[in-house]
Structure 1
Amino acid sequence: MKVVVGIPSFNNAETISHVAKVAAKGIMEFFDGDGMIVNSDGGSSDGTRERFMETDTFGVPKESFVYEGIPGKGSAMKAIMEFSLEQGAQTVVFLDSDLRSVKPWWVERLAGPILRGEADYVTPFYLRHRFDGTITNNVCFPMTSALYGKKVRQPIGGDFGVGKKLLEIYLEKPEETWKTDVARFGIDIWMTTTAINESGRILQAALGTKIHDVKDPGKHLKGMFLQVVGTLFELMVTYQNRWMSVWNIEDVPIYGETPEEEIPPMTIDVDNLKKLAKETLVVPEYVNESAVREVKEDGTLSLNSWVDLLYRSAVQYRKTRDKTVVENLLPFYFARTARFAEEVKSLSDEEAERYVYEQLGVFLERKRLLKEEWEVEDKG
């Protein structure tokens, strides 16, 4: 079998049928029907699985099951990986179950390079609103780029192509891995970082606009932030021998032309972010006083202070392995997101995108201080 399209879900009855139908069209149009669609569900109570199984998939076989393990996206995706290997699939395409902008050719963009032997892992390259993807823009994209030297724009994008070789690498990891936040929202950054360090054969697929259930960072993203950043810090320990020798950032090739599509408008509650930053602020001893002062005065945080704080927090996490370190970052994340929103609010999405890329220089420049502090902990 060439391709399995895996759709993890939890209470996505309103959108999953659309994703399944489009996935089926992609398998029929680009892979002569040689594939199947798999729904791995977290015990939805809204009829998600029933809606999925009722969907007309034009003869493409489909399967739905409730996964076992810790409730979360990662557990759902692990079950899809295991099922796909049992079916002899050459590649798996993961699609988020709340996608509204998915097209049949997305399946080819994510699976084609793997089937042709050009890559083991394909990440999405989206057009997104400048207020969308705040964890990506302020943490995962710059940190992944600076640490591992690969400019992967959407390391936690949700929609990925994964080859058989990498599936086996993921599933050969100790079972304890799947009892951590990798079983939850940590899965995407874990998959991407593992792929960079243990495969290296990565492409990005131009998918156009991503339209999905947008979440306000101050109201909906606390759990995701904690799980993603905690996993990112844990991976820094795992791959410390690799990132400490990386001092250049390489472009990652993009497969396909980016279509010209309109990006839907969205807003975030900046005043609420500032309020949350001030009200939830805690001041651990390793936090720079200037960063604390910025948050107390204005509820926002400059880029330089944010980078320093992320790196100091990573060192502290490595020292203690205490999740409180990540929790202490939350008010600063709210503050940095508020400042970022103010900095780009008068820009076009294209100009804001350039601004996001420009931040990489600060992350890379200050990485030498991170390395020095990390090595001090080694000697200690």
Structure 2
Amino acid sequence: MIKEGFKVYTVPENILESIVKKGPYDLIVGIPSYNNSETIKYVVEMADQGLQQYFPNMRACIINSDGGSVDGTRKKFLSSDTVSDLYSFVYKGIPGKGTAMRSIFEIAHVVEAKAVVFLDSDLRSVEPFWIERLLTPILEGKTSYVTPYYIRHKYDGTITNSICYPLTSILYGQKIRQPIGGDFGVGKELINIYVRKPVEIWDSDISKFGIDIWMTTTAINESKLPVYQASLGAKIHDVKDPGKHLENMFKEVVGTLFNLMEVYKENWMNVDKIAESPVYGDILEVEPEPILVDAKNLLDRCKSGIISMKDDISKIFSEELTEKLFDIAYGNGRINEEVWISVIFELSKKYKKYKEELIKVLVPIYFGKTGDFVLKTWDMDTKEAEKKINELLDKFFERKGELVKIWMK
């Protein structure tokens, strides 16, 4: 039965009726997709094996919410060999990953599922144990939200490493290594919170790539339980060169992150320490696949981007920081940690006022920061590079007082 007073926005009516009729379901694995026919079948079958192996007494289904793929993704999904019921549909609403995930939350809310696991559809390293690790802390009542804890190549996840991980950790006081990891466990408490948010919240970048950082930040601030992390080993997926493919994702993620700073201002301004978020499962010793990054392209795009946006940069940044950025643009294009932190702190407060210009300005500076990190860590192994990432977090935290002062002006 469809819940009275609850409106479903993104799921086709016939699909919802079919799921309700065949349900109820205790567990749902949700797989958002768009043209992922090469990998989705493997993801589905690994998820199903995990459900059967670890939760054989719970009713489960696997749902594919698709963005209108033209490569046969949905057909591949439905051809998977599973015990779990399979459902696939094209979601309704704003095109984007967030809308796909919203549709799965709406279904989970209607069927009163105990928990949902989300898996990226381009995964090549997912194993059955991922399902157990993303669900068990929720089913044991320890948390309502589980983020992934992966071993990733030092140049994979550059948006996470340079901004989402350090800034989220220092703002809200929980050290969460992969706040936008893509593979999550979500319990009933948070499913209810997410689907009850006003429609206008969803009519934003949250319906696109902003979804992961929104879910994580909401969980930290609104759940009664701490956020957990699940040790999942290596993340191997269809990686992208940050200088060539990640601009839209960057704009949507960072824009959402800055917006949320305003929403939860009263919370983060009083946080003066960082706690480690619990990790469920042994940390696995694995070596991630290498990733090729074009450092010269990153630095060239930093320099040309800053120069082409001189007027916006002069308008948005303080005089001292503007001067530093112009020196870098006419020099080697490398943005070091201290300049990067100053940029993030100043922009976070000005996001509302200069929304469009601000993100355009930040993209080339992010390229310069990423290029600088690539050159500094070129000869480092994964563990050594991870130390550099955590040093950046420490530098962010040491300067948090500056951020609070900027926001109090």
What is the TM-score normalised by the length of structure 1? 0.97
In structure 2, C-alpha distance between the alignment counterparts of 1:170 and 1:34, rounded to whole Å? 23
Aligned residue type for 1:158:
G
Structure-2 residue corresponding to 1:25: 49
Structure-2 residue corresponding to 1:215: 240
Matched, 1:307 2:341: yes
1:142/1:359 contact within 8 Å kept: yes
What aligned pairs does 1:219-230 form with structure 2 within 5 A after superposition?
219-230=244-255
Structure-2 residue corresponding to 1:365: 398
Shift of 1:279: 1.3
Matched, 1:110 2:134: yes
2:226/2:277 contact within 8 Å kept: no
Aligned residue type for 1:219:
K
What aligned pairs does 1:1-380 form with structure 2 within 5 A after superposition?
1-32=25-56, 34-57=59-82, 59-199=83-223, 200-281=225-306, 282-283=309-310, 284-285=313-314, 286-287=316-317, 288=321, 289-318=323-352, 320=353, 322-376=355-409
In structure 1, C-alpha distance between the alignment counterparts of 2:193 and 2:116, rounded to whole Å? 14
Shift of 1:259: 2.1
Percent identity at matched positions? 48
In structure 2, C-alpha distance between the alignment counterparts of 1:305 and 1:274, rounded to whole Å? 15
Shift of 1:292: 2.9
Shift of 1:321: 5.5
Deviations, residues 220-264 of structure 1 (Å, cap 9, x unaligned): 000000000000000000000011001111100100012222211
DSSP 3-state at the match of 1:357: helix
1:295/1:301 contact within 8 Å kept: no
In structure 2, C-alpha distance between the alignment counterparts of 1:99 and 1:84, rounded to whole Å? 23
Deviations, residues 250-284 of structure 1 (Å, cap 9, x unaligned): 10010001222221111100010011111111232
In structure 2, C-alpha distance between the alignment counterparts of 1:362 and 1:292, rounded to whole Å? 23
Shift of 1:84: 1.5
Structure-1 residue corresponding to 2:14: none
DSSP 3-state at the match of 2:138: helix
DSSP 3-state at the match of 1:97: coil
1:295/1:335 contact within 8 Å kept: no
DSSP 3-state at the match of 1:299: coil
In structure 1, C-alpha distance between the alignment counterparts of 2:394 and 2:108, rounded to whole Å? 40
Q: After alignment, is 214-223 or 31-40 more displaced? A: 31-40
Q: How many positions carry a matched residue from both structures?
A: 374
1:308/1:366 contact within 8 Å kept: no
In structure 2, C-alpha distance between the alignment counterparts of 1:62 and 1:342, rounded to whole Å? 46
In structure 1, C-alpha distance between the alignment counterparts of 2:330 and 2:191, rounded to whole Å? 46
Shift of 1:326: 1.5
1:123/1:203 contact within 8 Å kept: yes
Aligned residue type for 1:88:
E
In structure 1, C-alpha distance between the alignment counterparts of 2:388 and 2:329, rounded to whole Å? 22
Deviations, residues 159-182 of structure 1 (Å, cap 9, x unaligned): 000001101101111101111000
2:206/2:256 contact within 8 Å kept: yes
Shift of 1:354: 1.3
Aligned residue type for 1:202:
V
Aligned residue type for 2:404:
K
Aligned residue type for 1:301:
I
Shift of 1:96: 0.1
Deviations, residues 26-46 of structure 1 (Å, cap 9, x unaligned): 010000062110000001011
Deviations, residues 298-319 of structure 1 (Å, cap 9, x unaligned): 111010000000110011114x
Shift of 1:85: 1.7
DSSP 3-state at the match of 1:359: helix
Q: After alignment, is 80-89 or 139-148 more displaced? A: 80-89
Aligned residue type for 2:86:
K
Q: After alignment, is 130-139 or 289-298 more displaced? A: 289-298
In structure 2, C-alpha distance between the alignment counterparts of 1:261 and 1:348, rounded to whole Å? 12
What stretches of structure 1 move > 6 A for 4+ residues in a row? none
Deviations, residues 74-130 of structure 1 (Å, cap 9, x unaligned): 000000111112222100000000000000010010011101101110000000000
What is the TM-score normalised by the length of structure 2? 0.90
In structure 2, C-alpha distance between the alignment counterparts of 1:63 and 1:13, rounded to whole Å? 16
Structure 2: gaps (5+ residues): 1-24
DSSP 3-state at the match of 1:298: coil
Q: After alignment, is 365-374 or 89-98 more displaced? A: 365-374
Aligned residue type for 1:90:
K
In structure 2, C-alpha distance between the alignment counterparts of 1:364 and 1:101, rounded to whole Å? 33
In structure 1, C-alpha distance between the alignment counterparts of 2:45 and 2:102, rounded to whole Å? 23
In structure 2, C-alpha distance between the alignment counterparts of 1:259 and 1:306, rounded to whole Å? 32
